Copies of this chain bind each other. A is one copy, B any other.
Amino acid sequence: MPHYEPLNTAALAEIMAIVGDKYVLVGPDIPEEYTRDAWTPPGPPRYPEAVVFPANTEEVAAIVRSANRRLFPVVPRGGGTGLSGGTVPVYGGVIVDLSRMNQIIKIDPKARYIVAEPAVLTLDIQKEAAKHGLLYAGDPSSDDCVIGGNVATNAGGNRAVKYGVTADQIYELEIVTPQGEIVNLGGRLKKNSTGYGLVKLIIGSEGTLGIVTRITLKLNRLAPIFTTSLALFPNFSDAAAAVTVILDDPLLDPISLEIIDQKTMAALARYREDWRFSEQGGDCLIIQLEAKDEGEQAEKQNQLAAIIQKAGGIHLHPDSEKVWQARREFGKAIQAESSVLGIEDVVVPVDELPDFSAQLYKIAQTVGLEVRIAGHAGDGNVHIQILPGDTPEPEWESKFHHFTQILHSDVYSRGGRISGEHGIGVKRKQYFLEHVNPVELELMKSVKKSFDPQGILNPGKIFDIAGI
C-alpha cells in the first residue's frame, strides 16, 4: 500500500477551514453507514478518520490538494448504494460525501441535454427530463442511486439494450483530479478526435482517477407509447432462448428485456401480494417496447405475442408500474427469505446466455448451493443471487467462494467479465486479479500511477498499488 499519514489536528483544522466546522464529522460522530455501501465488507467495520461534506467543486479540489500534501486517502461517496464496496475506507482517511452537491444546474430541452451535480438522484434526472417530454435513458433499477455513482461504475441498467450504458449518455464531465486540479473533459459533441478520449477513461473508474463534480448528459426523445409485457415460460432455458429471438426481430427493438427466474417470481409474490402476476408461475421475461403511435404499438404487440407463443410462453399485460417496482426490488424479496446471500453481476455475450444459464444451474448443483437468476437478459448481464440452501453456516463461505471461482472461470471462457455494471470495488478485487490479463492489469495500474502518483484517491479499489 502507499504511505499514508494519520489525520492529525493540523490536517483536520485545514479541512474544517475548507468546508466549515459543521460539515466535518469525526470519531464517534461518524455513523456506521460510512463503513460500507449496500454491500458490507467482511470483518470488523473500517471507519474513516473523518467524513467531509463539501459544498462545491472548489472545496472538493481543496480537500484533495490537502490530502496530497498531508498524505491521507480520499474516498468519494455518492448515494452509498453501490454493491461492491467502492466507497469503503479501506485505508482510513477522509470520506468526501458529495450529498450537498445535489442540484440540477441546467436543462436545455431543445438541444436535449441536462447538467447535474453528482448527488442528484438518477430518478430525479429521469423525472426532470420527462417534464420536458424527454427521456434520460440511464436506468439502473434503483430508487436511491445518484448520477455520480452511475458514472463511477458505468452503470448499465434496464435500457442498455437499446440506449447503451451510462458512458453512452455522457457528453462532458467536470472532475477533480487525484492531484486536486479541476478540469472539464469531453464536450457536447457527437464526434471528437482532439487528443485522447479521457472522459471515457474516467467513466467506470470507480472514483480512482477523479472525483466527478458535474455531469452533462444527453437526453433522448420520449416515445409517445411504452408497453410493458410479461412472458412466462415453463423453464428458464426456454425464457433465455426467447431472448435472442426477440432481439433478432427487426421490428421490436426492445428498450428493456429483463429475465427473472421462477423462484424469484415466487419470492416476489410472497413478498407483496400484488406482485403475484400469474397463478401458474413460471420463468419470466419483462419486455418493454416503444411505439410512435397506436398502429405501431399494435403491430409490435402482435409480433411479440407470436414470438412468445412460438417459444412456448404465455403473454401477459400486467400493470407496468407494478412490474417495474417488483423488478427493482427483487433483491429485497430474496433477502427477506434468506439473510445469507451472495450477489454476482456477471456479463456474457448475449448469444451465450442460454448455454451459460444452463451451466450456472449445474455449477450450483455440483457445489450444493441454490441460485436465483434475474437481470438484464437483453445485454447478457445477469444478477445471480446465491443462497446457502441446505448448507450449514460454517460451510457457506468456502462453498460460496468455490462457486464464485467456477462461475467466473466459466464466464471468462465465454468472453464474459465478472462485472457488467456493479464494478470491482473491494468485493471483487481478488477475483478480478485471478482473471484479468496481466498485461491489461499493468496498463491499468500504470494509468492509475500516472494520474495519482501518491495513491491518494480511493485506494484499495479495483486493484492494489504497491510502493507508490
Which of B189, B251, B447 has a CB less than 8 Å from the CB of A347? B189
Inter-subunit contact B380/A424 (CB<8 Å): no
Query: Closest CB of chain B to A429's CB: distance in Å?
Result: 10
Stretch of A19-27, A96-104, A175-183 that contacts chain B: A175-183
How does the 8 Å CB contact mask read for A343-365 relative to B, with 1 for contact and 0 for none? Answer: 00101111100000000000000
Q: Which B residue's beta carbon lies closest to that of A346? A: B194
With A193-B420, A443-B183 as given contacts, are A292 and B350 in contact (CB-CB < 8 Å)?
no
Task: Say yes or no for A190: interface residue by CB 8 A criterion.
Answer: yes
Inter-subunit contact B204/A193 (CB<8 Å): yes
Q: Which B residue's beta carbon lies closest to that of A192? A: B417
Which of B160, B193, B250 has a CB less than 8 Å from the CB of A190? B160
A347 to B111, CA, bound (A): 16
Q: Which B residue's beta carbon lies closest to that of A247? A: B112
Which of B187, B201, B221, B418 has a CB less than 8 Å from the CB of A196? B201
Task: Say yes or no for A205: interface residue by CB 8 A criterion.
Answer: yes
Inter-subunit contact B417/A189 (CB<8 Å): yes
Task: Say yes or no for A289: interface residue by CB 8 A criterion.
Answer: no
Which of B191, B422, B424 has a CB less than 8 Å from the CB of A160? B191
Task: For A350, list chain B residues within 8 Å (CB).
Answer: 111, 190
Task: Say yes or no for A213: interface residue by CB 8 A criterion.
Answer: no
A114 to B187, CA, bound (A): 30
A432 to B196, CA, bound (A): 12
A381 to B189, CA, bound (A): 9
Inter-subunit contact B416/A187 (CB<8 Å): yes
Inter-subunit contact B376/A292 (CB<8 Å): no
Inter-subunit contact B153/A193 (CB<8 Å): yes
Task: Say yes or no for A37: interface residue by CB 8 A criterion.
Answer: no
A13 to B375, CA, bound (A): 57
A348 to B177, CA, bound (A): 26
Which of B177, B196, B440 has a CB less than 8 Å from the CB of A439? B177
Task: Say yes or no for A197: interface residue by CB 8 A criterion.
Answer: yes
With A190-B380, A191-B379, A292-B251 as given contacts, are A450 and B446 in contact (CB-CB < 8 Å)?
yes
A366-415: which have CB < 8 Å to B?
Answer: 376, 379-381, 415
How does the 8 Å CB contact mask read for A188-232 relative to B, with 1 for contact and 0 for none? Answer: 111111111110110111000100000000000100000000000
Inter-subunit contact B347/A192 (CB<8 Å): yes
Q: Which B residue's beta carbon lies closest to that of A152? A: B193
With A154-B197, A160-B191, A191-B379 as given contacts, are A110 and B443 in contact (CB-CB < 8 Å)?
no
Task: For A440, list chain B residues within 8 Å (CB).
Answer: 183-185, 195, 198
Task: For A209, list chain B residues within 8 Å (CB).
Answer: 196
Inter-subunit contact B351/A111 (CB<8 Å): yes
With A193-B153, A198-B440, A201-B197 as given contacts, are A187 and B351 in contact (CB-CB < 8 Å)?
no
Task: Say yes or no for A264: interface residue by CB 8 A criterion.
Answer: no
Task: For A221, list chain B residues within 8 Å (CB).
Answer: 250
A108-149: which have CB < 8 Å to B?
Answer: 110-111
Query: Closest CB of chain B to A205's CB: distance in Å?
Result: 6
Query: Closest CB of chain B to A190's CB: distance in Å?
Result: 4
Task: For A322, list chain B residues within 8 Å (CB).
Answer: none
Query: Closest CB of chain B to A230's CB: distance in Å?
Result: 22
Task: For A188, list chain B residues within 8 Å (CB).
Answer: 349, 415
Inter-subunit contact B419/A193 (CB<8 Å): yes
Inter-subunit contact B450/A449 (CB<8 Å): yes
Q: By CB atoms of chain B within 10 A, which of A164, A187, A209, A251 has the most?
A: A187
Task: Say yes or no for A462: interface residue by CB 8 A criterion.
Answer: yes
With A183-B439, A447-B450 as given contacts, are A194 and B381 in contact (CB-CB < 8 Å)?
no
* A-B interface, 10 closest residue pairs, ranked by CB to CB distance from nearest: A190-B379, A200-B200, A446-B450, A450-B450, A194-B417, A183-B439, A156-B191, A191-B420, A193-B419, A188-B349
Contacts A189-B347, A197-B200, A250-B292 known; 14 new A-B pairs at CB < 8 A: A183-B437, A183-B440, A189-B348, A191-B347, A191-B376, A191-B379, A191-B421, A192-B419, A193-B421, A194-B424, A196-B201, A196-B204, A198-B443, A198-B447
Between A and B, 23 residue pairs with Cβ closer than 8 Å are: A111-B349, A111-B350, A154-B193, A161-B190, A167-B200, A183-B437, A187-B349, A189-B347, A189-B415, A190-B379, A191-B380, A191-B381, A193-B423, A194-B417, A194-B418, A195-B432, A195-B440, A195-B441, A196-B205, A196-B447, A197-B201, A198-B201, A446-B451
